[in-house]
Amino acid sequence: MTLDVVRCSMEELIRIGLVEVNDEIQFHFKKHKMIGQVGYGGHVINTVITRADGVVVNTLMTRIYPSLTAWSEACLREGLLEEHTRYASWKRVTHVKTQRTLQSLRSQAHVSTKMAQASRQDLFMEINRLQSLVAQLKKKNLTPRESAETTDALLMTPSVVEYFQRWATTSSFRG
């Protein structure tokens, strides 16, 4: 199965492992917070809206939405009673576990699966994301790894060496 360069569904993000079933997604609109869960097939389930005044709205909790766009529009229209609102959900909805927008994950999917056919925009978005990640990793204090001398000493005892020599002659692996 291949990804279309223009479109990539939540189902595709699940299939390639960038998003998992039961992961939370969220977005904010006028100080209101909408949270949903990714369901099987990329559907959005278990919607909870927390209004700006702190009141929790569960009216959409039992509904299942077949797409991210359908979910975000329902949150705005039915959950918050907002009309005439255009909302670019892929650009604004965040995958909670990774703290990345779904558009960012979709661009990564395009680059990882389509490679040479990915759009320039997706390629540059992924390059910039990776550059930012490298900069963050450079700032981290790395703790040195413990010495493997003890492990090496245990593995090089005569009995262990003899065991692996016997295994090598009887194994079908013979690598």
Residue 50 inside a domain? The answer is yes
Residue 174 inside a domain? The answer is no
Residue 52 inside a domain? The answer is yes
Residue 129 inside a domain? The answer is yes
> According to the model, what pLDDT value does residue 5 have?
38
Residue 27 pairs in a beta bridge with 34
> According to the model, what pLDDT value does residue 173 have?
60
Domain count for the chain: 1
Residue 133 inside a domain? The answer is yes
Mean pLDDT (the chain, rounded): 84
User: Residue 98 and residue 101: Cα distance in Å, rounded?
Assistant: 9
Under-70 pLDDT residues of the chain: 1-7, 84, 115-116, 171-175
Residue 126 inside a domain? The answer is yes
Pairing of strands 94-95, 24-29: antiparallel
* Full residue range of the structural domain in which residue 116 is found: 10-137
Residue 131 inside a domain? The answer is yes
